[in-house]
Amino acid sequence: MNTVDNPLVLSDPFQLKLRSGVLDLRARPLVMGVVNVTPDSFSDGGRYFRRADAVEHVREMVAQGADIIDVGGESTRPGSEPVDAGEEMKRVLPVIEAIRKFSKVPVSIDTCKAEVARRALDTGADIINDVSGLRFDPEMAKLAGERGVPVVIMHMKGMPKTMQRNPYYDDVVTEVVEFFKDRIDHARAHGVGSIILDPGIGFGKRLQDNLRLLHSLSVFADLGWPLLIGTSRKSFIGMITGAEAGERLGGTLASSLVAVMNGARIVRVHDVREAVQALRVLDAIHHPEQWEA
């Protein structure tokens, strides 16, 4: 597919053209709110596994200022077991359908399966968020190219079940850069015109790897595509502070703000209200002239 002829692709990779309009990643960093429609999420323990609870949570996040809603039906926490496509669709499709009845907020489908992504796009999703970086399902890149939708390409070493069993890198930044170059070429070869890069904090990474990646985000930004960072409630924060998953808001906000200062354009979080407030204050500090009388 010629991406130039694709109506859902713009020449500027920081202007994501969705069915509902253009999502501008240059104007300000955006907040992606997470809803896990799973019984075993590391962060919320299945709190939103019931459809009604998930939908109500989305309503709250939209009201709090979420720019994107990320819906997932398969846990990718360390040690998690995969679920089949049928079960995953049973979890996520009704939630996406319900969202579309009350909001035009952009929705990303967090899945590694092309079948699930296809049905989610048909139901109203706008973005594919693939933690495998288009590796696990050979049909995913083709689907994204045919539909002309943005794709989040994330780096993960190994599989969710085994990724935290002694991961090792000689140079984590260089290795992730090379991974991205390969995956970008793969996506572009299949007609994908809008790509978002996610270095995969906590996915097959040691503490020092996560810190080096966050410290070196400008290297990834130099690849020319927008960056998404998800540090929300992750274990590296607990390793540094001793805090349990539900008590890592401070670490989440600190790492998210540093990520934005180092080039990230989207932060993926569980606590939308606090992230929106933090980013607004950061923006005000960077642009004090907007607040002068």
Q: Which residues are catalytically annotated?
A: 234, 268
Rounded Cα distance between 27 and 24, Å, is 6
Phi, psi of 249 (to 5 degrees): -60, -45
**DSSP characters over 154-198:** E--SS-TTTTTSS---SSHHHHHHHHHHHHHHHHHHTT---EEEE
Pairing of strands 30-36, 21-24: unpaired
Rounded Cα distance between 258 and 77, Å, is 24
Phi, psi of 76 (to 5 degrees): -120, 25
- How is residue 191 written in tokens? 């007609």
Starting at the edge strand that comes first in sequence, how are the strands of the sheet with 30-36 ordered?
A: 195-198, 151-154, 127-130, 107-110, 68-72, 30-36, 266-269, 228-229
Rounded Cα distance between 220 and 227, Å, is 8
Query: CA 53 → CA 36, 41, 45, 48, 177, distances in Å?
Result: 11, 15, 13, 5, 38
Query: CA 11 → CA 6, 140, 151, 254, distances in Å?
Result: 11, 22, 16, 33
Q: How far apart are the first and last CA of the chain?
A: 51
Strand partners, 267: 31, 229
